[in-house]
Structure 1
């Protein structure tokens, strides 16, 4: 090996041969013929006191492995071509006399070149490829673990929801059965009472007749014979209410929907949305006036608020009204909490206080936005509340209005129309001032700004945002008459538009079946299946 090549070799970084940390090898043990890092060198000196440990940079000036003759205790200087072995000067005049000899250093130099070539190939090709594959495998493993964790959470949520629905159905049916039992008991008790009265009456008359016949009194016999009184009539069979039906149609429907939603491999669940073909499941008019605001309950029904009314209405997927409430202020937006309470952003001019409508109908103010008014409102996974104020801020508060934290401050009053928490814990904000969907972390650091879809369509008025059950974010754009969807990789594509009759969409909600509810300016509400 030439001096230049030897110098290049000792300068090249090589990992430690004795530890698993791949620390750079700074030292070399000429006895063990191993490269050692600084940490291992301390232990090596203690364990092998007599070993010669030098810096790798000294290898160029050190004969680290002198070759000895196999026959004599001398350093070999030649290579016997016929015997393919190193030999010393004594061998040349002895056992190997007459054999073809070459300089040993030339042979070693050629062998070293081959080894150096192999080593370079490993260090420049094989090792980097293995390191790259290891990193790719680590990333892939983390992604799979995230997907599995997400799926487990969704499946647990579905399982909990199914049990709640089945428990509710069981409770309602048992209640019907109890009512039926009570009705039957009342009817039977009434009939039994009348029958007992008839038996008692007949018994008394028989006793009177027997006494009169036994006494043989003309007056008594004449009196009883001439008595004209109606006898109690035997009651007809009671007219009982119809027995309640217990055909499990509702259960079958629920299980069927569950199978449609979950009965496919995880690879399908976590796929992107290239093959989305939205279809309309239901369409109906809001029972309230104007632009409907909307939020979904845990049971899959929707609370609606009108555009200019102090009213709320709960509807099912077919638009049937299940409940109504009168509230103090006209709501701009509303969101349902996990326990069923409804948090309400009032319209500017009515009040600056966010209120919480309890299940018993009590409405309590929980947060004052300092007279700026509010736009959107949403509830996070840990039941915190995100408020988009009319001065461009996004605030996070707890369920009673305390622990206020500002997440975002835009440049204008329309900088934060709506905000929602994503599946990764980051906050998605619809900002009209840019216009864009802005993604920030919980400390307000901007992570990404999405201004156009993958198809190249520019966002114009991003409005309501909602997180679906698969971790995607749906976004309405009322100026473009469309709804976009943002997947977990933050790619945004157009989901649906005028082709399905969508016009001026604003407020969105996703139910437990992953159906998307869309409200429009004309008061109509679409329910879409899109995944």
Structure 2
């Protein structure tokens, strides 16, 4: 055959080497024409499995025995290896359970497929999430340690300033002592000079009398020696001395300030075949065909914008004025707190310990109420806080926008310390709209971070590490106006509920962003803030009516 055309030649039968191949024996790995199939099957000393040649490509081949160079038709379960007929006849596998090698291959292939699926859908994303968390921690490391260094430097400057004050004061005291000492010596010196001058004059006068032999001068002489014999008092000065105190370095360091110890611990991630949402999974609660309005609570407010459950019977409310009110399910006022600034609070949340947190966009602060005392927790510069939520770990998640309305982001705080910033996707594009429209926020049970981005007419969801998961815009419906998301909350089933204000309804999504149903049958009017209690009852704040509705939807 001309080698130039061999690549284009048809495949020939391995037995007769003439006819075109029609079939293939999977166990013998032999290509057969139609005429040779019968001859091949006549060899009863071997097992055969003849299939059409076109199916050969997808059919697995029997492995070769490494010891006997024969096809392995069976699989020894005890030894966990493929075996050929010679291996079996040798007696080494006597009494062992043998199975078909291709069936074993198929079974193992299914196991591998399952493990591959787990690696791709669960394990690898978890490692990606951990890597993202480490990256976020590294990004927050520099500003945190810069703050520490700044604090220590400031303390050093304060100490230097105080030490300089002390040194200058001591120097002033020394100068004052020196002046007094010098004044005393000058006074004594002047007195001695005056007396010395008088003694000199007496000596001159006495010599003049003696030289003159004048009786009148001699008789008029009055002696002053007795006066001069009485020497002026001697000024004794005890010279001041400086006695420096011994510097106790250890005590000095304690007085300067202390650093809490750096604690680096490792803990198991505890990955098992269960996903995060499988852990302590609540019983499955199906959605009701028709959500039911349980009660309508008159809050006494003209506007009601934000609600958050303190318990199943007590709800914090705010909106329209500077007073945050705690009411029960009968609408009775239990407690009221006025904002520290006197401005209207923008949003409220309840921490795991039951403390009320509120954002004040006028003062750019986030504040916490403890025992009726308001403490400033966070003060922003260049950014304005919008909405806040408390996470299962005790952190705070805050949506905020820049002074120029060109940027928006979500920031995680542990106490007053910023630990994570979520602003861009993996391609560097903004996750949230740049406007200062409402961006309500909630943490889902699976630790996803859900933001109702009113400016983008979307619900944007990222995972705990800030990695983009999905964006829900609107479920297709010809009866609905443009999607207008405001309040957002999540329930025990990791379902996401968001208020669609202009359409007077609530959207319910699953944790992956798939639309499940509307709540639109409870006479809702301009729903705004949302929250759920521990029994998955939904509370809806009707902004314009100032009413709070309790709805059962599961």
TM-score range, shorter chain: 0.5 to 0.7
The alpha-carbon distance between structure 1 residues 292 and 435, as it changes in their structure 2 partners (threshold 3 A), is: closer
Question: Aligned-pair distance for 1:476?
Answer: 0.6
The answer for the alignment partner of 2:387 in structure 1 is 376
What is the SS of the residue equivalent to 2:383?
A: coil
Q: Larger % of helix: which?
A: 1
Alignment partner, residue 328 of structure 2: 316
1:452 to 474, 495, 503: 474
Partner of 1:29: 67
Residue matched to 1:473: 496
* Helix, strand or coil at the partner of 2:398: strand
Q: 1:150 aligns to what SS in structure 2? A: coil
Distance 1:34 1:123, change over 3 A: closer
Separation in 1, partners of 2:416, 2:524: 36
How far the C-alpha of 1:471 sits from its partner, in A, is 2.2
The offset of 1:361, in angstroms, is 1.0
- The equivalent residue for 1:50 is none
Match for residue 426 of structure 1?
Answer: 448
Q: Describe how 1:103-502 pairs up with structure 2 within 5 A.
A: 122=103, 146-147=277-278, 149-151=280-282, 269-273=283-287, 275-298=288-311, 300-307=313-320, 309-328=321-340, 329-346=343-360, 348=361, 350-358=362-370, 360-391=371-402, 392-398=408-414, 400-408=415-423, 409-414=431-436, 417-453=439-475, 460-497=483-520, 499-502=521-524
Rate the CA distance shift 1:36–1:29 in 2: closer, same or farther, 3 A. Answer: farther
Number of aligned residue pairs: give it. 327
Change in CA separation of 1:134 and 1:505 when aligned onto 2, cut-off 3 Å: same
Cα contact 1:414–1:431 (8 A) shared by 2: no
Distance change >3 Å, CA 506–CA 340, structure 1 → 2: same
| CA–CA separation in structure 2 for the residues paired with 1:129 and 1:421 | 37
Residue 167 of structure 1 corresponds to none
Q: 1:441 & 1:288 partners in 2: Cα distance?
A: 36
- Give the superposition deviation at 1:459: 5.8
- Report if the CA contact (8 A) 1:355-1:367 is conserved: yes
1:444 CA displacement = 2.4
3-state SS of 1:493 partner: strand
After TM superposition, the score normalised by the length of structure 1 is 0.53
Q: Does 1:510 align with 2:532?
A: yes
Displacement of 1:420 after TM fit? 1.4
Q: Against the structure 1 CA distance between its residues 402 and 36, is the aligned structure 2 distance closer, same or farther, given a 3 Å change threshold?
A: farther
Whether the 8 Å CA contact 1:435–1:460 is kept in 2: the answer is: yes
Q: CA–CA distance in 2 between the matches of 1:144 and 1:382?
A: 18
Distance apart, 1:337 and its partner CA? 0.8
Aligned partners of 2:504, 2:325: CA distance in 1, in Å? Answer: 26
1:277 Cα deviation after fit: 1.8
- In 2 relative to 1, CA 431–137 (structure 1 residues): closer, same or farther, beyond 3 Å? closer
Structure 1 distance, partners of 2:465, 2:524, is: 36
Q: CA deviation at 1:339?
A: 1.3
In 1, the alpha carbon distance for the partners of 2:462 and 2:64 equals 45
Structure 2: runs of 5 or more not aligned: 1-12, 16-23, 32-55, 90-99, 123-271, 403-407, 424-430
Contact 1:298–1:338 (8 Å) recurs in 2: no
User: Relative to 1, partners in 2 of residues 1:287 and 1:458: Cα closer, same or farther, differing over 3 Å?
Assistant: closer
Q: CA deviation at 1:282?
A: 1.2
Q: Deviations over 1:340-379 (max 9, x none)?
A: 2111011x3x210111111x11111111232432222111
| Residues 1:331 and 1:144: Cα distance change in structure 2 (over 3 Å) | closer
Deviation at 1:516, TM superposition (A): 0.8
Q: TM-score scaled to structure 2, two decimals?
A: 0.51
User: Is the Cα–Cα contact under 8 Å of residues 453 and 494 in structure 1 kept in the other structure?
Assistant: no
Instruction: Quote how far apart the aligned CAs of 1:8 are.
Output: 6.8
Range that drifts further, 521-530 or 412-421: 412-421
1:440 Cα shift? Answer: 0.8
Q: Please report how far the alpha carbon of residue 504 of structure 1 lies from its aligned counterpart in structure 2 after TM superposition.
A: 0.8
CA distance in 1, matches of 2:277, 2:463: 19
**Cα distance in 2, alignment partners of residues 364 and 480 from structure 1:** 38
**DSSP 3-state at the match of 1:508:** strand
The answer to whether the 8 A contact 2:436-2:455 is kept is: yes
Q: Is the 8 A contact 2:305 2:542 kept in 1?
A: yes
After TM superposition, the structure 1 stretch with the greater mean CA deviation from structure 2, 443-452 or 504-513, is: 443-452
Asked if structure 2 preserves the Cα contact closer than 8 Å seen for 1:287 and 1:313, the reply is: no
Q: Matched residues in 1 for 2:528 and 2:534: separation? A: 20
**C-alpha displacement at 1:35, in angstroms?**
9.2
The higher-RCO structure (CA 8 Å, 6+ apart) is: 2
Asked if 1 retains the 8 angstrom alpha-carbon contact of 2:486 and 2:528, the reply is yes
Range 416-425 or range 453-462, more displaced:
453-462
